Amino acid sequence: MKILVFGKTGQVATELQRQADVTALGRTEADLSDPEACAHIIAHTDADVIINAAAYTAVDLAEKEQPLAACINGDAPTQMAQAAAARGIPFLHVSTDYVFDGSGDQARTELAAPNPVNVYGRSKLQGEVGVASAGGPFAILRTSWVFSAHGANFVKTMLRLGRERDALGIVNNQIGGPTPAADIAAALLTLATAFHAGEGKRGIYHFTGAPDVSWEGFAREIFSQASVDVDVSGIHDSAYPTPATRPRNSRLDCTLLLQTFGIARPDWRRGLQDVLQELGELG
C-alpha cells in the first residue's frame, strides 16, 4: 500500500513518517495555499491512499489572516478530495473540535451540528464540507489538543514555563481530550489499511485521548510526570483573553470510531509519559 501524506514537519505528519513507509510532502513540494497545485499532484500520483495532515493551525493569527486560513484549510482539502474522488483514491483528512461552539458539558457525537466560534474553526468546517461532498471514499478524523515531542504544543510550553516561573495560572473552564500525535497517526494508518482493503466506511469520526480534562489538569499531570516543582492555580478563561475565542467544551464522543474500526480512545497520560521520555524530561 502506497500512502501519500500532505504535511511533513507537523506533529501528525512526523509521526506518520516514524510509523510507516510513506511519501510525505512538505510545503516546498505541496503548498496548500495553492490548492490547484496540490490537486494536480493527486491527479498524477500512484498512491493508494491520500492523508492530508497539513493545515493552517495558527488559531489566533487566523483572525487576521482569514483568506489564507480559508484557502489552506478549506479550498485546498476540497480540491484535493475532488481530485482523489475522480480517481477513486481514499482521502483521509484531519479536522478539529473547533468546528463546534463549545457550549454545554456533554461530549458531542458526529451528528451534532457544527457551529464554529472563530475563523480557524470556520475554515476547518469549510474543509470538512468540501471533503465530504467530493463524492469519493473519505474519512474525516476530528481530534483535539494534539501534543508530541516535536513542534509547538502545550506540553512543551508548560515544560518551559514551569522551569522559568514559580507559579502558573492555567485555564480550568475549558475541557477536552489531550491527544498524542502518535496515536492520531496510528489511527490514520488503521483507517488507510481498511480503506485500501475496501473495508472503509466513509464519514466523519471523532478521536481524542481519554480521560477528558481541563488545561489545568493537563498541566498538573505534565508537571507531576516531569517532576517540575511549580505552583499551579486554576483560572477562568476570561482572565486569559486571546484574539480567537476557544471552545469551553471540547469533549468528543468517540464511540463511532470504536464501533466501526475498533479504534479506542488512547490514555493520554501514557502518551504523555512516552513524550516526556523522548524529550528527556521524565521525572
Residue 197 burial (CB count, 10 A)? 9
For the question of residue 120 being annotated catalytic, the response is yes
Across-strand partners of 108? 252
Closest CA to 143 of 41, 222, 250: 250
**Is the separation of the CB atoms in 171 and 235 below 8 Å?**
yes
Q: Which of 56, 98, 120, 205 is catalytic?
A: 120
211 cis-preceded (ω within 30 degrees of 0): yes
Distances (CA, A) of 126 to 17, 48, 103: 27, 25, 20
Q: State the DSSP H helix or E strand holding residue 18, giving kind and residue range, or none if neither.
A: helix 11-19
According to DSSP, residue 71 is labeled: I
What is the signed CA dihedral for 272, 276, 281, 282, rounded to 10 degrees? 60
Cα pseudo-dihedral 217, 247, 177, 57, rounded to 10? -110
Instruction: Please state, in angstroms and rounded to a whole number, the distance separating the CA atoms of residues 178 and 266.
Output: 10
DSSP at 141? E
- Quote the Cα angle for 272-276-278, to 5°: 115
Catalytic residue set:
120
